[in-house]
Amino acid sequence: MTDLKNDRFLRALLKEPVDVTPVWMMRQAGRYLPEYRASRANAGDFLSLCKNPEFACEVTLQPLERFPLDAAILFSDILTIPDAMGLGLYFETGEGPRFKKTVRTYAEADALPIPDVTSDLDYVMNAVKTIRAALSGRVPLIGFSGSPWTLATYMVEGGSSKDFRQIKRMIFSEPETAHVLLAKLADTVTAYLNAQIAAGAQAVQIFDTWGGVLSPQAYQEFSLNYMQRIVSGLTREHEGRRIPVILFTKNGGQWLERIAAAGADAVGLDWTTDIGDARQRIGDKVALQGNMDPSMLYASPERIRQEVADILKRYGHGSGHVFNLGHGIALDADPDHAKVFIEAVHELSSAYHQDPV
């Protein structure tokens, strides 16, 4: 890793020694930053921002100019794959992502084209290459995708959902349709992440945002099995180093042992799971990422530092912890409070990485 000036994020994911606990934030390039809002206005809209490699690079680097972060994450959207499958992604003000077409029948799932990720999603790979070059070894670059289950929820529901009625109807009344859809998505996600790695991503994360809405049995069948399939097909060595893989299921704390057995290097935690308990349960098998409640950034700087100190204490001594929020930073969070959070992680964690006297 000689080309990286700061590799503690990658080292922590592999449970190798670090000087301080590394930290990054999910959605760290986003609307809470005034410079991001300016870039988005210049691009015209969100999708134009995502599909222009220069703009994507610009906003990816913005939080690194403000904060001493230990990783950059590709600026993109989890719904690029369904869009490339021809479902017609668009965004409605105040409504979030929507699709012009849905997938609700076996015939529709069977007819879905599998995109060529290097051509149909070339703007993503061009963004990865552009960002990696601009970083010039400053910190590692994280690539990502949504999980097959999470992507399927949007494709079947037609957008965001509160009750996931349509996709749950599918998995319980027509499971074979769901499996056709999920298998296509798993194969595409595998190719998509491998293409990001080939383009320069140095770690990858699979976001299973909606896995936690399932029962234990359904989670195993319709979410985790497909993430495990992806992990088994990923490029794990590139440019002479290991490519760490992070699995993150929001509200998945009850299934940590199963997730840890899926083959990834790290498991992401939301704020509903105690990180000390998680380390006792699975910390000898994988690294852990998380897990401060994003809403804590509304608190005073003193309270934020107290929360950081508590999470570090609960994890305890040694490597294998990447500090993060338990989900994405809120769009109205104060950037100055984010800075307090990030600086506190570095300042307060050094004692946990010193050899005992």
77 is catalytic: yes
219 is catalytic: no
Write out the two tokens for 224: 């985790």
Average pLDDT over all residues of the chain: 96
355 is catalytic: no
The secondary structure element, H or E, covering residue 89 is strand 89-92
154 is in an annotated binding site: yes
Catalytic residue among 27, 104, 229, 305: 27
30 is in an annotated binding site: yes
Q: What is the pLDDT of residue 357?
A: 42
Catalytic residue among 154, 192, 219, 226: 154
- Specify whether the CB–CB gap between 212 and 151 falls below 8 A: no
- How far is the C-alpha of 240 from the C-alpha of 346, rounded, in Å? 28
Rounded to two decimals, what is the model's pTM?
0.97
116 is catalytic: no
Closest CA to 341 of 308, 312, 316, 309: 308
The per-residue pLDDT for range 248-273, each reduced to its tens digit, is 999 999 999 999 999 999 999 999 99
DSSP string for 275-299 = HHHHHHHHTTTSEEE--B-GGGGGS
Closest CA to 182 of 117, 249, 227, 218: 227
179 is in an annotated binding site: no
31 is in an annotated binding site: yes
Residue 353's contacts (CB-CB under 8 Å, 6 or more residues apart) are 17, 18, 19, 20, 21, 317, 318, 319
- Give the domains, in start order, of the chain with CATH numbers: 42-66+71-251 (3.20.20.210)
Q: What is the pLDDT of residue 1?
A: 40
Q: What is the pLDDT of residue 105?
A: 97
Catalytic residue among 7, 11, 70, 77: 77
- Using the predicted structure, report yes or no on whether residue 2 has a pLDDT greater than 50: no
31 is catalytic: yes
Catalytic residue among 40, 138, 242, 303: 40
The per-residue pLDDT for range 6-54, each reduced to its tens digit, is 999 999 999 999 999 999 999 999 999 999 999 999 999 899 999 999 9
The per-residue pLDDT for range 101-156, each reduced to its tens digit, is 999 999 999 999 999 999 999 999 999 999 999 999 999 999 999 999 999 999 99
- Using the predicted structure, report yes or no on whether residue 58 has a pLDDT greater than 60: yes
Question: pLDDT over 70 for what percent of the chain?
Answer: 98
Peptide bond into 251 cis (omega under 30): no
Q: What is the pLDDT of residue 356?
A: 58
Question: What single-letter amino acid sits at 161?
Answer: S
27 is in an annotated binding site: yes
